[in-house]
């Protein structure tokens, strides 16, 4: 199989962070020899996460077996996931911001477990596809602060945030939160909505000019949060997930660590 040189749009700091973590891992295991050095393994793993390169392609390019690539990638993801910050650390960062943006994103994936309806928990009725729900906290500039563990795509954003303890943690820290209408009732700033239907006419009362202005300002503040969602999905391994749903959380944590390192 022919191979070719290519570039990676990843910071050197991200590669160094992964290399140091792998070097510590090998030292803890007492590893004496491997086919690839720590730096080469880090580059291989980042190519898989960033560009979505398959195991077969990476094996051909590095002159090693597909099984070896599989082991290297899984090892690195576990090492990075262990370095990921927890919710409490994210709240401490959020408390130093003027406000944060909370939003949910769906990481699309191939259908899994079609027999006996086992794919139903992963099917999002909103997006009409299978995927995993991840809650994202971003700062006012749209920089990624934290990404939650992944839940099946059928889970509503409000319920997912409650399951992860995000709502209570942000409220207890008195952090100002900008969110969309999916988080209505959580005590966060959400858009104005039209009032209930008039029983006589059966029509909803339209928003006033002031309410529309408030919604416009709110959307302008919430907009940069989409940049944080895009940051996750620019890592091609999360653009169309092909692995077991149980592994998605570790993959999200690994990408989060590399984004912060960069």
Q: What pLDDT does 4 receive?
A: 67
Cα–Cα distance between 221 and 149 in angstroms, integer?
Answer: 25
Confidence of residue 125 (pLDDT cuts 50, 70, 90): confident
CA angle 261-106-77, nearest 5°? Answer: 40
* Arithmetic mean of pLDDT, 61-90: 94
Integer angstrom CA distances of residue 62 from 4, 9, 12, 54, 222: 11, 19, 20, 12, 43
Q: Which residues contact 92 (CB under 8 A, 6 or more apart)?
A: 173
Which of 25-34, 115-124, 151-160 has the lowest average pLDDT?
115-124
pTM to 2 decimals? 0.89
* 102 and 166 Cβ atoms separated by less than 8 Å: yes
106 forms beta bridges with 133
The reported pLDDT for the residue numbered 154 is 87
E-strand ranges in the chain read: 100-108, 123-124, 129-138, 144-147, 151-152, 177-178
Q: Quick one: what percent of the chain has pLDDT higher than 70?
A: 95
Eight-class DSSP state of 241 = B
Q: Is the dihedral of CA 246, 251, 254, 259 positive or negative?
A: negative
Task: Name the pLDDT band for 185 (thresholds 50, 70, 90).
Answer: confident
**Run of H or E including 71:** helix 66-83
Q: What is the pLDDT of residue 112?
A: 67
């Amino acid at each position: 199989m022919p191979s070719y040189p290519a570039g990676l749009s990843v910071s050197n700091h991200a590669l160094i962070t992964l290399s140091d973590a792998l070097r510590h891992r090998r030292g803890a295991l007492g590893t004496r020899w491997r086919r690839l050095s720590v730096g080469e393994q880090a580059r291989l793993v980042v190519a898989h996460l960033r560009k979505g390169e398959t195991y077969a392609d990476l094996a051909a390019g590095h002159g090693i077996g597909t099984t070896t690539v599989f082991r290297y990638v899984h090892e690195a993801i576990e090492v990075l996931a262990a370095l990921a910050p927890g919710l409490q650390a994210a709240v401490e960062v959020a408390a130093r911001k003027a406000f944060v943006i909370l939003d949910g994103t769906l990481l699309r994936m191939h259908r899994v477990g079609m027999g006996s309806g086992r794919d139903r928990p992963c099917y999002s009725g909103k997006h009409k596809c299978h995927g995993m729900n991840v809650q994202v906290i971003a700062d006012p500039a749209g920089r990624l602060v934290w990404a939650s563990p992944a839940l099946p795509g059928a889970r509503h954003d409000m319920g997912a945030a409650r399951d992860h303890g995000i709502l209570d943690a942000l409220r207890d820290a008195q952090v100002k939160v900008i969110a969309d209408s999916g988080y209505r009732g959580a005590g966060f700033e959400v858009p104005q909505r039209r009032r209930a239907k008039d029983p006589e006419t059966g029509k909803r009362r339209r928003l006033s000019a002031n309410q529309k202005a408030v919604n416009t300002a709110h959307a302008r503040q919430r907009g940069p949060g989409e940049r944080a969602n895009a940051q996750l999905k620019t890592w091609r391994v999360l653009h169309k997930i092909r692995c077991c749903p149980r592994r998605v959380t570790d993959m999200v944590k690994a990408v989060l660590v590399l984004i912060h390192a960069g």
